[in-house]
Amino acid sequence: MVRPPSCNESGVKKGPWTPEEDEKLKSYVSKHGKGTWRTLPKHAGLNRCGKSCRLRWENYLRPDIKRGRFTDEEEQLIFNLHSVLGNKWAKIATHLPRRTDNDIKNHWNTNLRKKLLQMGIDPETHKPRTDFNYLMNLSHLLGMSNLGTSTSPWANPYVNQFAKLQLVQNMLQLINNNSSLVNMGNPNYNLLGNQILNPLDTFLNGTNLQNKDSILTSQEYANPNGINNNSCMLMSQTCSDSSRQNIFKSVTEKESETNQEVLGYNQKISILPENQVNFEYWEKFLIEEDESNGSH
């Protein structure tokens, strides 16, 4: 069975909506409700297909839509949700009141994705990038900034420190990916090749995560047995797929328990460990390190 396109009516208008069309659609929906999108254009006197009307209403005309710049909190929430849900924009949108999935998707593709790439993180997997050319470029840029001649963002001490850490992590990851001879770079082993045995391994390897209690808090990250802050942070982003699935499971379980929509917003942040790991903790970590004049 070949289904014809849902907007194949001949003579149906496409492209940008005029203010007159918007007004017709708004007044019709406000009087009669959405009803059936297929028949709505005819009843509303619009020469558009139903699908186009639905899109225009849901993404633009709906009165409860929040438009404009995304706040830092919203961006952080999108990062976290994307790391768990992937490109499930509609799902993500349910956690951001009054934002549309299209808006979030656009913001991700035009802004957030680039931010992650600049930080050396693969936006698809939320894991460190390890392609050779990227690491060489990053290394070169960092070298320039050390000479004090660069006016680029790398000259920013926080960005620079972050990038250095990221570079070390990514190179370790690259070495690990390309060599089975040594365990250098493997988060389960220290630089001498000795296996690290601590609770963090459990989390990073995605095992023994039957409930949310198994997920380490940021405090636990800060003081894992035998691991200093740097190596702890470097490893924090190598979260396995099974870990993500467990995180997602705990999120959905928590959701069904609380059944709170808007008020659940902050709670959902608080039960996502990656929120603490990737950003807040990073920021705090770098500031503290800078204040104590630490060098990496």
Partner DNA sequence: AACCCTCCCAACCGCGATGCT
Partner DNA sequence: TAGCATCGCGGTTGGGAGGGT
* Piece of the chain touching DNA by CB under 7 A; list 73-81, 88-96, 138-146, 233-241: 88-96
What single letter denotes the amino acid at residue 110?
T
**DSSP secondary structure letter of residue 57:** I
Cβ distance to DNA smaller for residue 89 or 282: 89
3-state class of 156 per DSSP? Answer: coil
Backbone angles phi, psi at 128, to 5 degrees: -60, 145
Asked if 103 interacts with DNA (CB under 7 A), we say: yes
**Least gap, CB of 105 to DNA (angstroms):** 6
Contacts with DNA in 142-161 (CB under 7 A)?
none
Binding mask 223-242 for DNA (x = CB under 7 A): --------------------
Instruction: By CB under 7 A, name the one of 9, 60, 248, 265 that touches DNA.
Output: 60
CA distance 157 to 289: 11
Instruction: By CB under 7 A, name the one of 23, 90, 97, 156 that touches DNA.
Output: 90
Cβ distance to DNA smaller for residue 90 or 287: 90
Binding mask 1-20 for DNA (x = CB under 7 A): x-x-xxx------xxxx---
**Least gap, CB of 179 to DNA (angstroms):** 33
**Least gap, CB of 153 to DNA (angstroms):** 14
Virtual torsion, Cα 147, 159, 152, 293, nearest 10 deg: -40
What single letter denotes the amino acid at residue 125?
T
Place of tokens 């006016």: 151
Cβ distance to DNA smaller for residue 37 or 248: 37
Instruction: By CB under 7 A, name the one of 32, 42, 43, 88 that touches DNA.
Output: 88
Cβ distance to DNA smaller for residue 101 or 122: 101
DSSP H stretches of helix in the chain = 19-32, 40-44, 50-56, 72-85, 89-93, 101-107, 113-118, 132-146, 157-178, 199-204, 218-222, 229-235, 241-258, 264-270, 273-274, 281-291
Cβ distance to DNA smaller for residue 5 or 148: 5
Instruction: Provide the 10 A C-beta neighbour count for residue 10.
Output: 4
**Least gap, CB of 37 to DNA (angstroms):** 3
CA atoms within 13 A on the CB side of 286: 18
For 203, counting Cβ atoms within 10 Å of its Cβ (0-12 exposed, 13-18 middle, 19+ buried), the class is buried
Cβ distance to DNA smaller for residue 83 or 173: 83
Cβ distance to DNA smaller for residue 36 or 180: 36
Asked if 91 interacts with DNA (CB under 7 A), we say: yes
What DSSP letter does each residue of 196-230 carry, written as one string?
Answer: P-SHHHHHHTT-S-SSGGGSPPHHHHHS-TT--HH
Asked if 214 interacts with DNA (CB under 7 A), we say: no
Instruction: By CB under 7 A, name the one of 9, 26, 51, 184 that touches DNA.
Output: 51
**DSSP secondary structure letter of residue 48:** S
The binding site for DNA (CB under 7 A) comprises 1, 3, 5-7, 14-17, 36-39, 50-52, 54-56, 59-60, 67, 87-91, 101-103, 105-107, 109-111, 114
